[in-house]
Amino acid sequence: MDNEAIDHILNKYQGQGRQLIRVMMEIQEENQWLPREVMQKISEKLEVPFSRVLRIATYYKTFNSTPQGRHKIHICTGTGCHIRGAQSVLEEVQELTGIKPGETDSDEKFSLEVVNCQGCCTCGPMIKVDETTHSRISPAEIADALKNYD
């Protein structure tokens, strides 16, 4: 956690409670997640109740209250991808990373999420790692797709 970067963000918006979500997003972008002690600092610097910060952090799926991997793997299991073998792709990713959907591996390299649709139903099965989409991917191609991420 880069406390200096977090403090810079907080100082930029000090006392501006109306900027709460923006501050939370900027800090999460910097830190990958929002630890409880950081949420407490947000509450103090923006002069908003801690309960409000916590309520927003737990309501919106975009915020993470647990450590996240440096790389996010999203596997589509929507109908189009499911029919084309998404379950086998998911099982292979789980085998290679050692994590299940909603988890992060122990060295915080990967976080795994299952999504309902990524909008390319004819390109399934597909996974997205960070901003790179791998379409029509087979379980045999997963290891090759993941090896480029440190």
What pLDDT, in 10s, does the model give residues 51-87?
A: 999 999 999 988 998 889 999 999 999 999 999 999 9
Residue partners of 5: CB distance under 8 A and separation at least 6:
30, 31
Question: Residues of the chain with pLDDT > 90: what percent?
Answer: 79
Residue 22 in domain: yes
Residue 65 in domain: no
What torsion, rounded to 10 degrees, do the Cα atoms 141, 143, 149, 150 define? -170
Residue 64 in domain: no
The predicted structure's pLDDT at residue 3: 87
Structure confidence by residue, pLDDT tens digits, 98-145: 999 999 999 999 999 999 888 888 889 999 999 999 999 999 999 999
Q: What is the pTM of this model?
A: 0.74
Query: Which domain, by its residues, includes 75?
Result: 71-146
The predicted structure's pLDDT at residue 120: 82
User: What is the total count of domains within the chain?
Assistant: 2
In this structure, the number of other CB atoms found within 10 A of the CB of residue 78 comes to: 19
HSE of 145, CA atoms in CB hemisphere, 13 A: 27
Q: Are residues 77 and 131 in the same domain?
A: yes
Q: For the chain, what's the residue count?
A: 150
pLDDT at 2 over 80: no
User: Of 25, 21, 27, which Cα lies nearest the Cα of 9?
Assistant: 27
Q: Are residues 75 and 142 in the same domain?
A: yes
pLDDT at 149 over 90: no
Mean pLDDT of all residues in 146-150: 87
The predicted structure's pLDDT at residue 1: 64
Tell me the β-bridge partners of 114. Answer: 75
CA distances from 52 to 7, 39, 57, 66, 112 (A): 20, 10, 9, 18, 28
H or E element in which residue 15 lies: none
Position 129, amino acid = V
The predicted structure's pLDDT at residue 50: 97
Q: Are residues 42 and 86 in the same domain?
A: no
